[in-house]
């Protein structure tokens, strides 16, 4: 299959057509209209087989995940996703694989009202690069800076599932099939917190998506905001599948050190806390408070009840590296 045949068959004319796309796939560039009084938010992630995903991951899951991790970055900025470009490198163009891969992409893109407006295809080792674009009202974007002492630290959902799914495969962990299936679904079909990100605007003082792990991503906020933090590990939410699959101290590396869950981590001042909790609950999002921002620069204290955890022991050398 030639490049343009591939593009015309699997991308051009498929998916939604947004009114703000003036020129989509088929020319040297796409043309889009930016809403008045808005800023353009842009993010790019590359996923390489054997580095960011298992080489035998189903193509439909890969297509979903490639879009989802980019939409998660937009969510962390409070942006409304609008357009994506896809650069796809393939060892060979297999019809059945492409049908499933593009189906996964189009499904999640349509769900979030996102149009695929261009990209590139080439031959080589399996690699997927997505550039996602969205808009945010001028001056309203969430950033990693802005957290202040006294702000509360929240996560939008359970952590640890994706990391446990990865290590279950790498280490051949003995996990019941019903729970392993749920853990693997969280890894392969992450849900970007797009609505939550937009609700956070005007309330949260900082935000980031959890791609590299709770402590690693929290550290980005602390470094940008010049503050420290106390985290209560026993308050971090986990799923039933996670709790049924691992017990005791063995859970901390997954909850604290692993990424790929793509929940949002954010900070909120005391005077916005109740209102934000209420607004998120209207979207079915039960965010959980897991700690508080402190003075000082860059240090994280992690408590389990009244005991302090040694966070130097929670890291993994990831097979699937987190995305920026």
**Would you call 312 exposed, middle or buried from its count of C-beta atoms within 10 A (0-12, 13-18, 19+)?**
exposed
CA distance 300 to 83: 37
Q: What is the pLDDT of residue 17?
A: 87
CA distance 157 to 233: 14
pLDDT tops 90 at residue 93 = no
pLDDT tops 70 at residue 320 = no
pLDDT tops 90 at residue 151 = yes
Q: What is the pLDDT of residue 24?
A: 86
Q: What is the pLDDT of residue 26?
A: 82
Region of poorest pLDDT, from 11-25, 70-84, 119-133, 159-173: 11-25
Instruction: Look at residue 241 and give its three-state secondary structure.
Output: helix
Residue 295 CB contacts under 8 Å (≥ 6 apart), including other chains = 149, 227, 228
pTM: 0.91
Region of poorest pLDDT, from 89-98, 217-226, 273-282: 89-98
pLDDT band at 194 (very low <50, low <70, confident <90, very high): very high
Residue 122's nearest CA partner among 159, 85, 93 is 93
Please check whether residue 258 is in contact with residue 112, taking contact to mean a CB–CB distance below 8 angstroms.
no
pLDDT band at 11 (very low <50, low <70, confident <90, very high): confident
Please check whether residue 132 is in contact with residue 74, taking contact to mean a CB–CB distance below 8 angstroms.
yes
CA distance 83 to 81: 6
Please check whether residue 136 is in contact with residue 201, taking contact to mean a CB–CB distance below 8 angstroms.
yes
């Amino acid at each position: 299959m030639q490049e343009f045949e591939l593009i015309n068959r699997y991308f051009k004319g498929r998916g939604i057509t947004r009114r703000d796309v003036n020129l989509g796939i088929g020319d040297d560039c796409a043309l889009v209209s930016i809403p008045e009084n808005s800023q353009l938010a842009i993010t790019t992630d590359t996923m390489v087989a054997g580095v960011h995903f298992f080489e035998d991951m189903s193509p439909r899951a890969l297509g979903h995940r490639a879009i989802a991790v980019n939409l998660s970055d937009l969510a962390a900025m409070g942006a409304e996703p609008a357009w994506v470009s896809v650069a796809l490198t393939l060892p060979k163009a297999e019809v059945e694989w492409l049908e499933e891969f593009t189906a996964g992409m189009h499904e999640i893109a349509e769900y979030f009202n996102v149009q695929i407006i261009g990209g590139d295809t080439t031959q080589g080792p399996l690699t997927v690069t997505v550039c996602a674009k969205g808009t945010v009202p001028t001056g309203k974007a969430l950033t990693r800076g802005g957290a202040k002492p006294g702000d509360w630290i929240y996560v939008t959902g359970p952590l640890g599932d994706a990391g446990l799914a990865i290590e279950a495969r790498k280490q051949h962990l003995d996990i019941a099939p019903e729970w392993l299936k749920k853990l693997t679904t969280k890894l392969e079909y992450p849900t970007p917190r797009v609505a939550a990100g937009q609700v956070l605007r005007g309330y949260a003082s900082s935000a980031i998506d959890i791609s590299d792990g709770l402590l690693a991503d929290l550290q980005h906020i602390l470094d940008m905001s010049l503050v420290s933090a106390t985290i209560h590990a026993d308050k971090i939410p986990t799923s039933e599948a996670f709790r049924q699959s691992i017990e005791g101290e063995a859970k901390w590396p997954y909850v604290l050190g692993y990424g790929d869950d793509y929940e949002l981590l954010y900070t909120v001042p005391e005077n916005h806390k109740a209102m934000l909790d209420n607004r998120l609950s209207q979207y079915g999002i039960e965010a959980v408070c897991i700690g508080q921002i402190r003075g000082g620069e860059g240090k994280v204290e992690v408590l389990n009840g009244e005991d302090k955890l040694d966070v130097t022991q929670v890291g993994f050398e990831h097979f699937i590296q987190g995305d920026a």
